[in-house]
Amino acid sequence: MFSKKLFPNESIIEIQELSPGYEDHASDVWLVKTTDREVIVRSSKMVDEPSNAFWWGCHNLFGIDPRRLTELNIIHQTLSKQTQIPIPTLFDVKKIDEKEFALLEKIQGATIHSFIDQHPSMMKSLGAGLAGIHSIKRDYIGSPSRTFHVSLDQFHSHVTETMSQLVFRFYDDKKDFKELLHTTRTQLQHISHPESSTFVLVDIDPTQFLSDGNTITGLVDTEAYVVAPRELDFVGLEYVLDEPSAAAFKEGYQTVLELPQLEHVRIPYRFLYRLLSVQGNVELETWMNRKILF
């Protein structure tokens, strides 16, 4: 049993498997109770090289791999210094039979299943918390540890190449995807490169956060954090917010930072996120015509 190897000097009382509330989640997560403490254990469900659209794309764009949980160390240490959102302490990463397991602090709060109809104070705390993270400035695109990186002035050409490969690998039978690829390739050639980068959660979703109903009490799913333009977070948020929740989010965000300008990047970045299936296999026209919130 993995628990004996992960907790060799502790007596295990209970192991509870946790779920974010939807199918096909990328990680196995357990709450392990010992005589001394409660610990969250996370491990990637992926065995082989990243092969689905999301993880293949993230690996090629940013160099991240959900099986490499040692990357969480720099993510959690960096975020915890910059945001008011509680980030769980990473106690250890252990390897058992070539599989990595992360042992993390258990944070109080309930999993959020939707940002819609939440108390405005909670959305303001989310806005301020993400703005704190976006206050981190980097001068490259890639993985948080910088083991993979490209220069800022090469980002859009790098995105263009990766989008072309995504269409070829996963959407080769989709005429509308190929047509939009041609359009966005042209757009990206004429868009200025990002002036800086920061920590961005590519698959940003309410289920990655905990709340007490009035404020965000934790950010607990961080495997898809990359170093990229902050505009990507805002593009992702437009798919999980509505007008009232976005208004409260903006109010909180602007207590720390000004909002980014999305007009020139919204179409290509939205297309990139659809190619990554960030929110599943949504029909392309529906995805691209999502209401503008920022």
List b or e across 34-57, with b for residues whose CB sees 16 or more CB atoms inside 10 angstroms.
beeeebbbbbbebeeebeebbbbb
- pTM equals 0.94
**CA nearest 125: which of 140, 109, 138, 141?**
109
Tens-digit pLDDT profile for residues 208-246: 999 999 999 999 999 999 999 999 999 999 999 999 999
Residue 36 is predicted with a pLDDT of 87
Backbone angles phi, psi at 217, to 5 degrees: -105, -5
Specify the pLDDT at position 23. 61
| Sequence spans of domains, the chain | 2-105, 111-288
Domain 111-288 in CATH 2.40.160.100? The answer is no
Q: What percent of the chain has pLDDT over 70?
A: 97
Q: How many percent of the chain have pLDDT more than 90?
A: 85
Q: Using CB atoms within 10 A of its CB, is residue 138 exposed (0-12), middle (13-18) or buried (19+)?
A: middle
Whole-number pLDDT of residue 282: 96
- CATH fold of 2-105 reads Phosphorylase Kinase; domain 1 (3.30.200)
Q: Average pLDDT for residues 26-51, to the nearest whole number?
A: 89
What phi, psi does 82 have (nearest 5°)?
Answer: -120, -10
Is residue 98 pLDDT above 90, yes or no?
no
Position 277 pLDDT exceeds 90: yes
Tokens 């969480």, residue located: 72
